[in-house]
A and B are shown apart, each in its own frame.
Chain A
Amino acid sequence: MDVLTLKDLLDPEEGERVFVLVAGREGAGRKLEIPALRIYTGGPQGSSAPTGGGLVLSFGLLRSLEAPDRKRFLEELFSRRPEYVVVAEATGGFPPLLDACDSEEIPLYLTEMGLHAAESEILRRLREKFHGKTFLHGVLVEVSGIGILISGESGIGKSECALELINRGHRLVSDDLVHVERKGKGSLRGRSPERTRYFMEIRGLGLINVKSLFGVAAVAEETPIEVNVELVPWKEETVFDRIESEERRRIILGVAIPLVRVPVRSGGNMATIVEIVAKNRLLKKERERESREILLKIEESRFLR
């Protein structure tokens, strides 16, 4: 996204409306200039407080203000030129603030979320939409050169599956939390958060250091994420692909990657299945490369004639 507006940032996600625009509507289509966020807790803001960006404050704080303090409070609030104001724990409107935001054309949003939950939610969206970065749950491994994100609910055996893959000579990028960044238009890169780099949590063993145990060749600092393998609990009634059917996709940061859902059964070998997914992907890439080459050759021969 080249230009990010407030509408892009605070509009409903997955149909869930958590921020409601109540005043200063004119400003909602403006370009967001500074991806910063401040929490207003009532004290003096000090000269070090940044100008611009977003401002979050709680409804409780607004309500606690006596009439004489309101004017001073609003002046101070707007002195740092916030690009938008979010009121958390909002159970109603606050007319003086509504009017001030309307006249200054500063969008005002209300949310039922708590102060810190609202702050965290906006920061997450800023990271995703402004910087093209996000965090995903799962294990990222590089299998035969293909970056595969293994996802699935807690305790289903993602780490154990990855450990088996490492044991077979593949590489670990990150366990549990994967730092994902969009590169260019259509590709994703994943790496591990620095603090827990090359560590895995294996139930019964605790934390293990994969780099010390398996050597430098068993780890990679980052890798493109090309496929998502989702481990799902095996259920009698669930219908799974019996023949190679239409390809499922998962959208991450606006980039679609193939999604393969694999039922987990005790005794099944998940690592082998993930290896086959990687080989399939390699084969597909190779076929695409070949057909591109053939087309190129045909083009060339036309010009040579």
Chain B
Amino acid sequence: MKETRSFVLKNELGLHARAAALLVNVSSQYKSRIFLEKDGIRVNGKSILGILTLACPKGGVITVNAEGGDAREAMEKIAEIIENKFGEA
């Protein structure tokens, strides 16, 4: 199964360290391979270093790819945390 979705980051700080850590923790709970993509750079959604290099600011768009048996569940959970602005106020 393959899922692809794009998200606009709405939280003030964009994809900063804490947000990236949260994303990695969520991605790592799933068996599917998860990739984040921005401006042609594709990084592993289960590794914090790659995500930090994307340097995605507020208003930036990232595309998430999930591939594997639990891709749909993974995508739903990732969508939830991005749309909840990573729990920021």
Contact = CB atoms under 8 A, between A and B. Distances in A.
Given A117-B6, A154-B46, A177-B50, A195 B55 contact: yes
Contacts of B49: 175-177, 196, 199-201, 207
Contacts of A122: 40
Nearest to A124: B40
B44 A137 contact: yes
Given A177-B53, A195-B52, A154 B47 contact: yes
Most buried by A among B40, B44, B52: B40
5 contacts: A114-B63, A117-B63, A177-B53, A199-B49, A201-B47
B44 A176 contact: yes
Nearest to B8: A116
Interface in B14-42: 33, 37-42
Which of the four size classes fits the interface of chain B? 20 to 34
Interface residues of A, number: 29
B40 A115 contact: no
Interface in B41-63: 41-44, 46-50, 52-53, 55, 61, 63
A199 to B, nearest CB: 6
A124 B63 contact: no
How would you classify the secondary structure of chain B's contact residues: helix, strand, loop or mixed? strand
Contact of B52 (A114, A115, A196, A200): A196
B4 interface: yes
A132 interface: no
A207 B61 CA distance: 25
Given A114-B63, A124-B40, A195-B55, A155 B46 contact: yes
B46 A196 contact: no
A116 B61 CA distance: 7
Contacts of A113: 4
A140 to B, nearest CB: 12
Given A120-B42, A155-B46, 15 more contacts: A113-B4, A114-B4, A115-B6, A117-B37, A120-B63, A123-B40, A135-B43, A137-B44, A175-B49, A176-B43, A177-B49, A196-B49, A196-B52, A201-B48, A207-B49
Contacts of A153: 33
